[in-house]
Amino acid sequence: MDSPKTIDELMVRAESMSGRSIGEIAQLMQIEVPASLTRKKGWQGQMIEKFLGADSGNLSQPDFSLLDIELKTLPIDYNGKVLESTYVCVLNLYNNLDDETFGCWQLSAVYRKLQHVLWVPVARTAGQSVTEFRVATPFLWRPSEAEMHLLKMDWENAIELVSLGKIDQLNARDGEVLQVRPKAANSKVLTRTTNRQGQLIETLPRGFYLRPQFTQQILAQNLKLS
């Protein structure tokens, strides 16, 4: 599907998914639904991207480049509880270390992607087939000044550790709303970074993730959940 040219056009498409099952949407697109998402974790998001006309692929810019809007699917249960953290983008551990923009919040992928987000909540329950997952009400979100401050603080703390070669101190427990976690298909996938002595080493790739508690607040605020 062509990329939407206006926010109204995007929201018409998004709202047309509301209440539909993943199976129904896949049928409209003539796409086969996998039996499980265990080994195809990105399938659901990719299908929704295609349905809505996202055009950025794996680039660091927002999914809808003409609108500067990022798309994020949000797994929830049927009571509206967020089930897992939300991947934002990769944490570049090596290529940007000599870049003068490295450490600049306003130029970061996290900042660009979270400026304006279209959230698509998808409800599911344990043991339910992927075809029965159901899209709840999509909504647009812009972080408040307070939310943006929290995101910036967590991002800066992570970037500082990388810049100092303290990759070993990056911990998923750190970060109030934004955490850093390994991002790789398996333990054999490695990327380069530098240690405290400035030596090149190999380590697991990392990614930025929004904590479930944070996305739960966003969901509650926008869908008026109790």
Q: Which among 208, 221, 157, 213 has a CA at the least distance from the CA of 178?
A: 208
State which amino acid sits at residue 126: A
Token reading at 156: 């800066």
Half-sphere exposure of 49 (CA within 13 A, CB side): 18
Would you say 201 and 194 are in contact if contact means Cβ atoms under 8 Å apart? yes
User: Across residues 98-126, what is the average pLDDT?
Assistant: 87
Q: Which among 23, 20, 17 has a CA at the least distance from the CA of 129?
A: 23
More confident residue, 195 or 54: 54
Given pLDDT bands bounded at 50, 70 and 90, which one contains residue 226?
very low
pLDDT higher than threshold 60 for residue 99: no
34-69 per-position pLDDT tens digit: 988 888 888 999 999 999 999 987 667 899 999 999
Residue 77: what pLDDT? 96
Token reading at 100: 């003068």
Number of H helices, E strands in the chain: 6, 9
Torsion of CA 81, 212, 50, 109, to 10 degrees: 160
Helix axes 43-52, 7-17, angle to 10 degrees: 130
pLDDT higher than threshold 60 for residue 187: no
User: Across residues 174-191, what is the average pLDDT?
Assistant: 77
Query: How much of the chain, in percent, has pLDDT values that exceed 70?
Result: 85
DSSP 8-state class, residue 91: E
Domains and CATH numbers, the chain: 7-223 (3.40.600.10)
Given pLDDT bands bounded at 50, 70 and 90, which one contains residue 220?
very high
Residue 191: what pLDDT? 62
Residue 100: what pLDDT? 53
Residue 83: what pLDDT? 96
Would you say 152 and 182 are in contact if contact means Cβ atoms under 8 Å apart? no
pTM as predicted: 0.88
How far, in whole angstroms, is CA 217 from its chain's centroid? 16
Q: How far apart are CA 83 and CA 168, in angstroms?
A: 28
139-168 per-position pLDDT tens digit: 999 999 999 999 999 999 999 888 888 877
